[in-house]
Amino acid sequence: MFSTTCKYGIRAVLYLAIKSTNDSKIGVDELADTLCIPKHFLAKILQVLTKNKVVSSSKGRHGGFYLKKRNKQINLMKIIEVLDGTNRLTCCILGLETCDSTHACPYHNIVQQFRNDFYQKLENETIGEAAQRIDEHDFNLKNL
């Protein structure tokens, strides 16, 4: 469904949304350590996300990655678009060229309903809202 890159990216962004503030940024080391993600790989992912204005960063002492208010208003789908492209979520589960109800494969109908819902959630929920939801329900982001 998501590439490993994208899984790492989503988890990192959500973690930042919960734990970082403008005054307390988080370094790649800590982030990679906490979330059990290969450090250099995560660094690269965060660079891409930074370049695409999904996360913010600052260099030097007490620097690190963090989310500005503006970043928290971005919706989750944006992360996926940046890291995986949009096609990955919408293409036919059996790999057929077209995926729509007029060329439905045998599993299209079963899959489509769910995908619409999931898609909606990803498009309508901001990073900030997701973070809040995670906090409230104590959802998991780490490999414990």
Partner DNA sequence: CAATATTAAGATAAAAAGGTCTTAAAATAC
Partner DNA sequence: GTATTTTAAGACCTTTTTATCTTAATATTG
43 contributes a contact to a copy of itself by CB under 8 A: no
The footprint of a copy of itself on residues 69-98 (CB under 8 A) is 93-98
Residue 104 lies near ligand FES (rule: CB under 6 A): yes
The token pair at 77 is 């789908």
C-alpha dihedral, 42 to 89 to 134 to 34, nearest 10°? -20
Answer for which of 29, 33, 100, 123 binds DNA (CB under 7 A) is 29
**Rounded-to-integer distance, Cα 54 and Cα 105, Å:** 35
Q: Is the Cβ–Cβ distance between 33 and 40 less than 8 Å?
A: no
Does residue number 103 form part of the binding site for DNA (CB under 7 A)? no
With CB under 5 to 8 Å by kind, the binding choice for 59 among a copy of itself, DNA, ligand FES, none is: DNA
d(CA 40, CA 37): 9
Q: DSSP letter at 109? A: H
Residues that bind a copy of itself (CB under 8 A): 1-2, 4, 7-8, 10-11, 14, 93-98, 103-108, 110-111, 113-114, 117-118, 121, 130, 133-134, 137, 139-144
